[in-house]
Structure 1
Amino acid sequence: MSAAEFVFGYLGGAVLLGVLIWIGVALYLAYTKTDLMLAHLKNCPAIMVRAPLRNGGPWGKLLLIGGISGIITFPNFYLKRGELSADDLSTFPASLRRKLILMQWSIIVLFSFAFLLWVVGKVVGWHK
């Protein structure tokens, strides 16, 4: 095994560890803050459609938190379509909003980095 393969192996492991940590943080928020988030976003059809996921066990809670964080991070798309209430968005707790935005961008970066590692591995020929 070359040094480059060794480094890429560690980078892939770091990405996997980051995703596992992200899942843990998302589940923590899902089990402790879901009711608060849904209470603040009760006039948003895009959120209320996803609300039954909170009863779907850990997987449902992850989907709900992922949906809420995506909507909070990129609100203009949902505001233009009338699926997000501007009043609800403005009254959403700032600290929780920052956490959700950080979570959304961190998973985007982790998946992008994993994809980049895969592409480099394909170009170099480490993956058949």
Structure 2
Amino acid sequence: MNTAEFVVGYLCALVIVCMFVWIGIALHMAYTKMDLMLEHLKNCSAIMNRAPLRHGGPWGKLLLIGGISGIVTFPGFYLKRGGLSAEDLNNFPAPLKRKLALIQWSVIGLLSAMTLLALIGKSGLLK
């Protein structure tokens, strides 16, 4: 293995560690802020359809927090189709909305980085 392959390998390991940190942060938010989020989005059918996931243990809570963060970060799709109440979205606490958007964008970045590093590693460009 050459130096470039080691660098890509260590960067992949760093992204994996960051993904575990992301999971921990998302689970912390799910266990501490879930009732608050669901209370503010009680008129949103897209959220209420996913609400039973909160009783699904850590995996269910992780799926629910991911769904809520996606809906809050990219509301246009759900607003057009009536799955999200504009009033609920406007009344949603701004600091929590920012945290959910940060969670959503960070997971998009982490998955993109891992995909890019895997493509670079598999492409043969490093030899």
Alignment TM-score, normalising by the size of structure 2: 0.97
Runs of 5+ in structure 1 lacking a partner?
A: none
Identify the residue that residue 58 of structure 1 maps to in structure 2: 58
Identify the residue that residue 90 of structure 2 maps to in structure 1: 90
Distance in 2 between residues matched to 1:87 and 1:67, nearest whole Å: 19
1:57-92 CA distance string (max 9 Å, x none): 000000000000000000000000000000000000
1:12-31 CA distance string (max 9 Å, x none): 01100110000000000000
Identify the residue that residue 27 of structure 2 maps to in structure 1: 27
The ranges of structure 1 where at least 4 consecutive aligned residues each deviate by more than 6 angstroms after the TM superposition are none
Aligned-partner residue type, residue 51 of structure 1? A
Identify the residue that residue 15 of structure 1 maps to in structure 2: 15
- Cα deviation for residue 123 of structure 1 reads 1.0
Question: Are residue 4 (structure 1) and residue 4 (structure 2) matched?
Answer: yes
Distance in 2 between residues matched to 1:19 and 1:121, nearest whole Å: 19
Aligned-partner residue type, residue 97 of structure 2? R
Aligned-partner residue type, residue 78 of structure 1? Y
Identify the residue that residue 113 of structure 2 maps to in structure 1: 113
Distance in 2 between residues matched to 1:71 and 1:7, nearest whole Å: 36
Distance in 1 between residues matched to 2:22 and 2:109, nearest whole Å: 12
Range with bigger deviation, 35-44 or 5-14: 5-14
Distance in 2 between residues matched to 1:74 and 1:91, nearest whole Å: 16
Q: For 1:16, what is the secondary structure of its paired residue?
A: helix
1:24-65 CA distance string (max 9 Å, x none): 000000000000000000000000000000000000000000
1:97-128 CA distance string (max 9 Å, x none): 000000000000000010001111121178xx
Alignment RMSD (CA, Å)? 1.0
- Cα deviation for residue 94 of structure 1 reads 0.4
Runs of 5+ in structure 2 lacking a partner?
A: none
User: Number of matched residues?
Assistant: 126
Q: For 2:84, what is the secondary structure of its paired residue?
A: coil
Q: For 1:34, what is the secondary structure of its paired residue?
A: helix
Aligned-partner residue type, residue 5 of structure 1? E
Alignment TM-score, normalising by the size of structure 1: 0.96
**Sequence identity (%):** 66
Question: Are residue 42 (structure 1) and residue 42 (structure 2) matched?
Answer: yes
